[in-house]
Structure 1
Amino acid sequence: MPHRRSLPLFFVAACSLVAPAFAQNANPYDPRLTFAPLALPDPVNVYRSSNGAPGPAYWQNEADYELHAQLDTAAKVLHTHEVITYTNNSPDTLPSLWIQLDQNIYRKDSRAHEMSGSMRMRRRATTPEDGPQPSTDGYVLDSVTVETQGKAEKVDYVVSDTRMQVRLPEPLRGHGAQIRIRIDYHYQIPGVWGGRTSWATTTGSVDDKPGNLPKGDIYDMAQWFPRMCVYDDLRGWDTLPYIGSEFYLEYGNIDYYVSVPANMIVAGSGELMNPKDVLTAQEMARLDEARKSDKTVVIRGASEVTSPASRPKQSGDLTWHFRMEHTRDVAWSASPVFVWDAARINLPDGKSSLAMSFYPPESVGPNSKGEDAWAHSTEYVKDTVEHFSKQWYPYPWPAAINVAGFSTGMEYPGIVFDGIPDSGAFLFWVTAHEIGHDWFPMIVGSNERRHAFMDEGFNTFIDIDESATFAGGKYGPKRDSEYSAGGEPPDMILKVLDNPDAPTVMATADSYPMMLGHPVSYFKGAYGMVLLREQILGPERFDWAFRKYIRDWAFKHPSPSDFFREMQSEGGEDLSYFWRGWYMNNWKFDLAVDSVADNKVTISNRGQLVLPATFEVKFADGTSERHQLPVETWLSKGTLVWAPDNGKKIASVLIDPDHVLPDDDRSNNEKKAE
């Protein structure tokens, strides 16, 4: 991929700013630790093969949903009737079912309520100095029944924090048996403090200056319905509570009907099934035009937001029907002040999708700084989806949507929520990043609560390349400081390696301390992929292996062990040393030039991590040459003595002349002849 090298250059340049105080106290290099046989956490069996692909007996349960929701804008309450059709493809008989109740995170008695640090940041909650945290009653369950032999029957259930166990009157057999669960519920919609789901009123102004643009509420409706927990071959029911980190969900088809006031526009995951009921003839004609256009087509312009002609009726409610197939979730957003535009997405094999953006008039831009704003969002969505579809895996859904609202920087299948004031390079970066999550973890359905690097790390890896290529590098190279807690620059990555208290990449997502969550899961996770691609396997082998991993696990549930095995098997290298050093430990990489004497060079390995490396030799006659050090250099020793074949007198030696490696102490990388 073009310009990929910008990521390691940036990371390593930043890393070199960190003082090497810890390096002086590091334990001596021990090859027995680095190259010891490695047993991966999840064993090979009939469900998961030794080559990293799903095994011949791999199974996965399914969850289909039908949802009928009514938005009460006066009371700020959502009422929903839900029908879950659950298919048990496992070989096991299930006496109960576990269901996720994410809205219960906002209850005063939730496990997350008193958490500080990363949880507080994720929810945009108030600090103790601001008074008590806002709260709701979470899901209020009006009725829970199961359907057996065509009849609905009330069941016993137990709510435990953000989970509910439904105890079945008759166990659900395996190998494809189905059951329907019907749930009637309602809940209070959180304000902006809800973070990933919220409602609030737009200001009608640009850059917080007085303005007279139309004002209106925006409802970002995510995690809005009870969803099945995953029952898999690794743990049975995976019931980690929702305390801040993201999701692990089953795949299926979702039909959902959203009834809202008639003056509202709804943006929803999937395909709008009843446009004639909720759009004007002009809007439908413009949508048809957008499906054929590579340029952005305005479906509802800023000047039309207050026009009654932009809605098919002026009072009462309208019901929007969406459908999304092969998905793990859906989300939607509704507002009377949405501007709406769209353009065609060109996919491989002649297929297409639709890029769309929804935003209030105050976000149209350019802003007072002259930066491009939301009028360019659809262009960013289109380019991102086309790039990732060509490079990694074709986008599978009928639309990709970006919404400007109050639940900023959050992703769901086919739809993402970003910020109303976002503009310029930041709007491009956050759009590319959130849309990139459609690949990880929406297509490749990893467990985000346990393995954040398979979500944020993989996605950061691919979105940085999109920044390098869009419009000839207009917004590249990407700087990830906007994602770090409190705005700290990403030189924190080496602080992870130098910090004895830092968690490893393999730690569960909610266990990351606030100041280390992004450096570990985003930056170290992405940098590990860069090292694999650029320094260890090379682009040709890496791209082949990573694409196969994505194809094999599309709409399935891979574990880290599956990823490790697939990259090894298809990449053609035993990478145990790298999995152990970079992912399972925070080992440091530190090569040093010990001496240049008698026309010999002595290089030592002072860290426990090993990587392929380059050193450059300059000769007294002004010429130079480079030599590669494979990881096998350190297979049984920690010191290398090297002499040139040409007999020339050495003037100096420099390790890692291109600064592409995470060397912990660059002060010992260069030495002149004694």
Structure 2
Amino acid sequence: MLKHLLLAAGLVGMAAAPLRAQTTNSGTDKFAQLGTTLPTPNSYRTASGAPGSDYWQQRADYNIRVKLDDEKQAITGSEDITYTNLSPDVLTYLWVQLDQNILDKNSITTATKVNSLQEKMTFQALDFLMNSDFDGGFKIEKVSMKGGKALPYVVNHTMMRIDLPTPLRPKQAVTFSIAWHYNINDQLKINQRSGYEFFPDDKNYLYEIAQFYPRMAVYSDNQGWQHKQFLGTGEFTLPFGDYRVSITAPADHIVGATGTLQNPDQVLTATQRKRLAQADGANKPVLIVTQQEAEQAEKSRAKGTKTWTYAAKNVRDFAWASSRKFIWDAMGIKQSGVPVLCMSYYPKEGNPLWGKYSTEVVAHTIKTYSKFTIPYAYPVAISVHGPVGGMEYPMLCFNGGRPEKDGTYSADRKYGMISVIIHEVGHNFFPMIINSDERQWSWMDEGLNTFVQYLTEQEWERGYPSQRGEPKNIVDYMKTDKSLQTPIMTNSESVLQFGPNAYSKPATGLNILRETILGRQLFDHAFKTYAQRWAYKHPEPADFFRTMEDASGTDLDWFWRGWFYTTDRSDLSIEGMKWYSVDSKNPEIENARKREMLNAEPKTLSQQRNLQDIQKTLVDVKPDLKDFYNTYDPTATTDADKARYQQYVSKLTPTQQQRLKAGLNFYEMNLRNVGGLVMPVVVQMTYADGKQEVVNIPAEIWRKNNERVTKVFITEQPVVSFVLDPYLETADTDLSNNAYPQRPAPSRFELFERQQQPQPNPMQQQSAVQKQEQKSGSSVGGGTN
């Protein structure tokens, strides 16, 4: 029905619109290239967004030994780190992360924590406000070279510099050792990314342990050492390497960890090993440790310890969990021909939710993420249930979501648990494999991961109630005052409204790119290309932006600039509309139209009253006053009119004659960019016969004028209404200006009768006390000896 989107030449009665100078809401051209904003391409990182021919990254291999003290809730450990310098630089010192020092009594996080007082405060709020007596920081016992020679080191809050005895030259490696211990925090009191949960009913502990060892910081081509302090929000940036970790725990504990178990014969029973073998390739999870067995273990207190040894290749981190309360199930799948053992560890308090869903969700996540990014190549993927709401590590993650004590749960609890498992397992891809800098850019792991989480949720169940990803869900955040927002491209520790900014907004932006701007085919290819290029490497924002443009063949600088570098909002408005048709020059058609318009023209109030009050005019009384014009019909068609029309038509080309006869409708729409964020213009037209058509106009319509544009639509049928963003795909923050003719946005209000419990006044309160005292006195005095 829509004949043309662009008006190429002037029409009869319409002049071509003059060009207007570029104007913007911010004073900056919203279509200006990001060339001067992004880092200059070089041989390490190319202009296409791919790693360059000289790209390099460092390597850190670990041999770690730790012991869990279940009586004192403490960890003692030692490690050997082999650090390989693959950079072109000579290093005279190394930087190591001491993330547990965020729980040091004198931590910079505590010192810089902002807070305020309320007239009424809970004891818990006061406890949080006051400095805790808990001392959870690393206690470094020794730093030495392999062989025992002590190394000088300096601790700077959550970072430690180790001075090397001789410079570490390119392609050289150094091995050194660190010994340490620290106290484990109670997650319910000091909420961090790892810790323990105590179960008073059976007096057992469940440990989820991470950031438990001093870890090498990243040294990269684009910024040297990444040694920003860990203040609590910006997470972890780590080099890849191989790990061998030996974990000594009480003999009746079950220990799960990153990597594959190296000594199953020493720590598992014959029955557990048999069940584990059955789980490989099973259609549903197989219980390795049943709930009955876990409940029996809760009652025991075995003497002695067991040491579980795990190994993992080419990972950036390591985490583990330990408890005698663990139920353990597993199910093996194959991803691109590679076997992956999906597993869950959870206490009985997690059932029935965890036994029914957790491992199935793990398997579904691995399959779906692999489809949209790269095939998962690690041997295991694990979900652990405990006190941590949600936290990710290679091959293993900690997840919340617990039913009520009677085993019931709400829909919100069910879907919340499924979503958090998808999200945390999905972090295996972002940033555990596609290894972005979380300390600097949280959105590169949280935002990209949340986007694929949304895709995975929708493939779990049709109509899945996803909280993030749909453009309509970000509108409330986008509408908040700009003073309460920061651009996505803000350092992790300085972001305001962290959840919407680092998770929801980038995920929504990617969804808009996929559905509205690029289309699924172009987007999916570009997104997969980014994952393939930067798997097991250290990408930066420019690498993502450039790859998405390079692989899609689309200039997206305007989108990155608006969505990632500003707090502009999407709000397009229809400011006006004009309806035109072509003068056919055919007197029969045009005169009939004039007659119809004259007949439809409403009579004024005076004319209506004159018809009643003036019975006869003078001309009615004296007909001889009438002349030619009293009977002349200006809408009548004469032979002379027809002859002139035929003469006019004979001089036109066949195409021009067809244009006169087509009877097309021309609509001139005036659009305004109220919110400042340039976006595609999605227009839904409803025709007179009820049929609808949607037109998606690329955002480049705003390139000559960022604030106001005029667009002409040409249709065969008359249009009865125009609506912008009919399917809520651009996160438009004000729908009241999206329709022509204007229509009120639907809303609802609730009626209720105010009911207040009457509060007793002081006199009533005193009277009640006196009555109670009199009653008590009468009771005592009336007794017998």
Paired with 1:588 and 1:661, the residues of 2 have a C-alpha distance of 10
Q: Distance in 2 between matches of 1:490 and 1:203?
A: 41
Alpha-carbon shift at residue 418 of structure 1 (Å) = 1.5
Residue 252 of structure 1: aligned partner? 241
CA–CA distance in structure 2, aligned partners of residues 581 and 384 of structure 1: 31
Distance 1:558 1:337 in 2: 40
- For the residues of structure 2 that align with 1:440 and 1:419, how far apart are their CA atoms? 20
2:321 corresponds to which residue? 333
Q: Deviations 1:91-139 (Å, cap 9, x if unpaired)?
A: 0000100000011110111111144479xxxxxx963355433431511
Residue 634 (str. 1) matches residue 702 (str. 2): yes
Q: How far is the alpha carbon of 1:650 from its aligned partner?
A: 3.7
Are the aligned partners of 1:492 and 1:519 in contact in 2 as well (CA < 8 Å)? no
Cross-structure match for 1:361: 348
2:399 corresponds to: 418
Question: Cα gap change, 1:495/1:602 in structure 2, threshold over 3 Å: closer, same or farther?
Answer: closer
Q: Which amino acid aligns with 1:128?
A: L
| Deviates most, 127-136 or 223-232 | 127-136
Match of residue 729, structure 2, among 653, 660, 673: 660
Which residue does 2:683 correspond to in 1? 615
CA contact (8 A) 1:359 1:420 kept: no
> Which amino acid counterpart does residue 433 of structure 1 have in structure 2?
H
Contact 1:333–1:403 (CA<8 Å) still a contact in 2? Answer: yes
Q: For the structure 1 residues 115 and 85, does the alpha-carbon distance in structure 2 shift closer, same or farther, using more than 3 Å as the test?
A: same
Kept in 1: contact 2:475–2:732 (CA 8 A): no
The answer on whether the counterparts of 2:415 and 2:465 sit within 8 Å (CA) in structure 1 is: no
Paired residue for 2:216?
Answer: 228
The whole-number CA distance in structure 2 between the counterparts of 1:494 and 1:379 is: 35
Q: Unmatched 5+ residue regions in structure 1? A: 1-26, 119-124, 205-213, 366-371, 482-488
1:473 positional shift: 2.7
Residues 230-263 of structure 1: per-residue CA shift (max 9 Å, x gap): 0001111110111112100000001000011101
Query: SS in structure 1 opposite 2:63?
Result: strand
Over 3 Å counting, the alpha-carbon distance change for 1:622 and 1:490 in structure 2 is closer
Aligned to 2:338: 351
Partners of 1:408 and 1:189 lie apart in 2 by 17
What residue is the counterpart of 2:50 in the other structure? 53
In the alignment, the residues of structure 2 paired with residue 36 and residue 673 of structure 1 have an alpha-carbon distance, to the nearest angstrom, of 34
* Cα drift, residue 316 of structure 1: 0.9
* Residue pair 1:597, 1:673 contacting (<8 A) in 2 also: no
2:127 matched to 1:132? no
- The match for 1:170 is 166
Q: What is the alpha-carbon distance in structure 1 between the residues aligned to residue 570 and residue 346 of structure 2?
A: 46
**Contact 1:31/1:635 (<8 A) preserved:** no
Tell me the CA shift for residue 169 of structure 1.
1.2
After superposition, the Cα gap between the structure-2 partners of 1:145 and 1:619, relative to the gap in structure 1 and judged at 3 Å, is same
Secondary structure in structure 2 of the residue aligned to 1:611: coil
TM-score by length of 1: 0.86
Which one of the candidate residues 11, 32, 37 is aligned to 1:36?
A: 32
Post-superposition offset of 1:518: 0.5
User: Which residue of the partner structure matches residue 150 of structure 2?
Assistant: 154
Q: Is the contact made by 1:102 and 1:162 (CA closer than 8 Å) also made in structure 2?
A: yes
- In structure 2, what is the Cα distance between the partners aligned to 1:624 and 1:72? 69
Question: Which residue identity is paired with 2:676?
Answer: Q
Q: Which residue, 295, 299, 310 being the options, matches 1:322?
A: 310
Q: Match for 2:483: what amino acid?
A: P
Q: How far 1:523 moved relative to its partner? A: 0.6
Q: Please report the RMSD computed on the Cα atoms of aligned residues, expressed in angstroms.
A: 2.4
Find the counterpart in structure 2 of residue 143 from structure 1. 142
Shift of 1:645: 2.9
Q: Deviations over 1:369-410 (max 9, x none)?
A: xxx344421111111112212332111211111111122311
1:201 to 198, 201, 208: 198
CA contact (8 A) 2:474 2:505 kept: no
Secondary structure of the corresponding residue to residue 325 of structure 1: strand
Aligned equivalents of 2:402, 2:343: Cα separation in 1:
18
Deviation, structure 1 residue 327: 0.5
- In structure 1, give the amino acid aligned to 2:727: D
In structure 2, the residue matched to 1:180 is: 175
Aligned to 1:450: 440
Tell me the distance in 2 between the aligned counterparts of 1:227 and 1:463.
28
Q: Deviations over 1:249-304 (max 9, x none)?
A: 00000100001110110011110111000000000000000012121100010111
Contact residue 298 and residue 325 of structure 2 kept, 8 A: no
Q: Deviations over 1:41-98 (max 9, x none)?
A: 3220000011101000000000000001111112222111100000000000001000
Partner of 1:298: 287
Task: Tell me which residue corresponds to 2:488.
Answer: 505
Distance in structure 1 (CA, Å) of the matches to 2:554 and 2:528: 17
Distance 1:632 1:309 in 2: 64
Question: Would you say the 8 A contact 2:477–2:500 is kept in 1?
Answer: yes
Q: Provide the C-alpha distance between the structure 2 equivalents of 1:375 and 1:134, rounded to a whole number of angstroms.
A: 40
Kindly tell me the number of residue pairs found equivalent between the two proteins. 609
Aligned equivalent of 2:59: 62
Percent identity, please.
35
How many Å separate the matches in 2 of 1:410 and 1:532? 28
Counterpart amino acid of residue 452 in structure 1: S
Deviations along 1:314-370, whole A, 9 cap, x unmatched?
53111000011110101001001111111012211x2211111111122222xxxxx
Query: Match for 2:495: what amino acid?
Result: Y
CA contact (8 A) 1:493 1:523 kept: no
- SS in structure 2 of the partner of residue 167 of structure 1: strand
Q: String of CA shifts for 1:637-669, please: whole Å, max 9, x gaps.
A: 243333443464443221111111122322111
Counterpart in the other structure of 1:494: 478
Whichever residue aligns with residue 694 of structure 2, its letter is R
Among candidates 402, 422, 433, match of residue 383 of structure 2: 402
- 8 Å CA contact retained: 2:736, 2:742: no
Deviation per CA, 1:127-185, whole angstroms, max 9, x where unpaired? 335543343151111110123xxx432111100000000011111111x2100110011
Q: What does residue 22 of structure 1 align with? A: none
**AA partner of residue 683 (structure 2):** F
Q: Give the one of 98, 108, 113 matched to 2:95.
A: 98
- Give the Cα separation in 2 of the matches to 1:289 and 1:154: 49
Give the conservation status (yes or no) of the 8 Å contact 1:126–1:132.
no
Greater C-alpha Rg = 2
Q: What letter is aligned with 2:156?
A: S
Q: Distance in 2 between matches of 1:621 and 1:543?
A: 37
Per-residue Cα deviation, 1:575-601 (whole angstroms, up to 9, x for no partner):
111111110111222221111223332
- 8 Å Cα contact 2:517-2:698 kept in structure 1: no
3-state secondary structure, aligned to 1:446: coil
Aligned partners of 2:51 and 2:225: how far apart in 1?
A: 19
Distance 1:168 1:278 in 2: 39
Contact 1:596 1:673 in 2 (8 A): no
Tell me the secondary structure at the aligned position of residue 145 of structure 1. Answer: strand
CA distance in 2, matches of 1:673, 1:126: 51
- Per-residue deviation, 1:421: 1.6
SS in structure 2 of the partner of residue 74 of structure 1: coil
Aligned to 2:275: 286
Q: Is the 8 A contact 2:474 2:508 kept in 1?
A: no
- C-alpha contact 1:28 1:607 (8 A) present in aligned 2: no
List gaps (5 residues or longer) in structure 2: 1-22, 116-122, 404-412, 581-667, 744-785
Give the secondary-structure state (helix, strand or coil) at the position aligned to 1:305.
helix
Shift of 1:309: 13
Q: Which residue of 1 aligns with 2:779?
A: none
Say yes or no: does 1:461 pair with 2:448.
no
Query: 1:502-550: CA deviations, max 9, x gaps?
Result: 111010111123xx11111111010111111111111111111111110
